[in-house]
Amino acid sequence: MTQMHDTVVDFVKVLRAAEIKVSPAETLDAMETLDLVGFEDRQFLKNSLSLVLSKNPEEKEAFESCFEKFFTIDKFSSQNSDSASAQSPDRADQDEFDPDSNSDSNSPAQGGSSQGGGGGGGETAGGEADSQDMEFEPLSASSALGQLLLSGNRTEVIIRMIEAGREVDVNQIVVFTQKGLYTRKIMDVMGLKDLQQEIGDLQEAGGAAENHLAGRLKQAREQLREQVRDYVEKQFLMHADESGKQLREELLKKVKLSNLEKRNFKDVQEIVMKMAKKLISIHSKRRKTFKRGQLDVRKTLRNNMQYDGMLFNVKWKSQKVDRPRVICICDVSGSVSNYSRFLLMFLYSLADILPKVRSFAFSSDLGEVTRLFEQSNLEDAMARTMRDYGNGSTDYGQMLQDFKSHVLKDVDSKTTVIILGDARNNYGDPKSEILKEVYDKAQRVIWLNPEPRSSWVVGDAEMKKYAPCCHQTEVCNSLMHLERVVSNLLRVVT
């Protein structure tokens, strides 16, 4: 029973790696399902687990692929089991474990296949060895692995192989070059050392019966090695691909956005969408009155006046989600444009929970690009934004002047203003007093600077003047930074 449950846990790991959300409760349901339906009918097991572990058409499609990969090594057909049991133990499933098939040409088990010259039967000639084949009493294997392989019980061999794979953590395989390493580890756990010793002892004895058994064991060993290789390769395809994908995603989350090459943009867009979905799932539910938490004394007393002060109807303080109006101002000059690209992508991916986002771009003159990003795909919108606003030297003073003239009237106590830029103003007038006006009117002013803090006061950088006019200043040059900033923007307030 424990082995069956371990199998379910391993399968759930594969599903989660394939981005199928499986909760602990659903994992327990899958274990109960497996206890009920068993392994005998593969299709029935597949349908049953699908009902428990996948919830929508996309997840069911991914589940089917994962199931076929994970359970492909097992044969669940009861018909196969019945036919195997009907055969003699030494001949069951001979296509997988038939120690007498394709054995060495000098083995006495080959009957009349060795003709002429000296046969492999020690001191006797080939013909004499052939005649002795029918005379010696076949020996039985003494090693545990040898006995298992010669029993012809394919199911037991597979079970032992899977147990060994779990023991050596084959699901931790990362690169294809580890295939041989894990193959050897699994065979060692299964008892390869004792099997090798037995084969050596039999060959040293040199008798016909010993040579016959050694030949069968060597053949079974090679068949097992091939099957273990296949098993490890399947584990690599299931686990390493997803592990490699996760490692790549973690790397792309941490790398500076300015260092990304164009070929990476598609991968980063997928990561941004995943992050946005996670934030939506966390912040989309508006909290209502709870049956626990902080007591609302006034509401409780007011609602229980009809009961002469007896507290029959207790009221708790409710919480609501703050839905800020966001104004995003992005510097699109030079290398800063990459940071702006992904900040805008992030904000527009959160349209369900940030419905009021206005976006502006500038290098000197400020222009609104809200409708452009709503009506065009990201690549087209960024290309047009760079064409229209990305030329010319950076002038933060002019940007702030344009903002005061056209947008400041729309800023109120529910507005969050996000400015993304390096604050390098080419030694022009920074006009920080305008940013102070924005600070006084807005709920929050957040400045995201892609440069390290040590560079904020170097050269033509004006962050030392802008920072006092902001509620929050952050270094923001990677997806992880963007996720943290947006998550804080969506924080729940009382």
Q: Can you say how many angstroms the Cα of residue 257 is from the centroid of all Cα atoms in its chain?
A: 22
With a cut of 70, say whether residue 74 has pLDDT above it: no
Q: Are residues 447 and 403 in the same domain?
A: yes
Task: Give tens-digit pLDDT for 145-200.
Answer: 988 888 888 888 888 888 898 888 887 777 778 888 999 999 999 999 999 998 99
Q: In the prediction, which pLDDT does 433 show? A: 95
Is the pLDDT assigned to residue 6 strictly greater than 80?
A: no
Q: Say what the pTM is.
A: 0.52
- The verdict on 353 and 486 lying in the same domain is yes
> Which tens digit of pLDDT belongs to each residue from 124-156?
334 444 434 446 677 888 889 988 888 888 888
109 inside domain: no
Whether 185 is covered by a domain: the verdict is yes
Same domain, residue pair 451 and 364: yes
Q: Is residue 119 part of a domain?
A: no
Q: What is the CATH number of the domain that holds 327?
A: 3.40.50.410
Query: Which of 307, 342, 377 is the endpoint of a domain?
Result: 307
Tokens of 361: 């771009």
Mean pLDDT to the nearest integer, 71-81: 46
Answer for the pair 360, 367: CB distance below 8 angstroms, yes or no: yes
Q: Tell me whether residue 111 is in a domain.
A: no
Question: Is position 110 within any domain?
Answer: no
Q: Which two tokens stand for residue 369?
A: 């690009």
b or e along 122-134 (b: 16 or more beta carbons within 10 Å of the residue's beta carbon)? bebebeebbebbe
Shared domain check, 94 and 52: no
- Is pLDDT of 57 > 70? yes
**Inside any domain, residue 409:** yes
User: Is residue 244 domain-shared with residue 297, that is, in the same domain?
Assistant: no
The C-alpha atoms of residue 490 and residue 139 are separated, in whole angstroms, by 75
Q: What is the pLDDT of residue 259?
A: 72
Which single residue is written with the structure tokens 């037991």? 156
Domain count, the chain: 4
Compute the half-sphere exposure of residue 331: CA atoms within 13 Å on the CB side of its CA: 25
Same domain membership, residue 83 and residue 16: no
Q: In the 3-class helix/strand/coil scheme, how is 407-442 assigned residue by residue?
A: CHHHCCCCEEEEEECCCECCCCCCCHHHHHHHHHHC
Whether residue 221 is found in the same domain as residue 299: no
Does residue 93 register a pLDDT over 50?
Answer: no
> Is the pLDDT at 235 greater than 50, yes or no?
yes
For residues 344 and 477, membership in a common domain is answered with: yes
Say whether both 467 and 400 belong to one domain: yes
Short-list 452, 390, 400, CA closest to 422:
452
Q: Which residue has the higher pLDDT, 105 or 409?
A: 409
**In this structure, is residue 115 part of a structural domain?**
no
Q: Are residues 89 and 228 in the same domain?
A: yes
Q: Are residues 459 and 361 in the same domain?
A: yes
**At residue 258, does pLDDT exceed 90?**
no
Per-residue pLDDT, 386: 81
pLDDT at 61: 85
Residue in 21, 85, 92, 95 with CA at minimum distance from that of residue 53:
21
The answer to whether 197 touches 143, Cβ cutoff 8 Å, is: yes
pLDDT on residue 323: 61
Question: Does 355 reside within a domain?
Answer: yes
Q: Which domain holds residue 27?
A: 2-70
Confidence band of 301 (pLDDT split at 50, 70, 90):
confident
Q: Is the pLDDT of residue 442 over 90?
A: yes
For residues 180 and 199, membership in a common domain is answered with yes
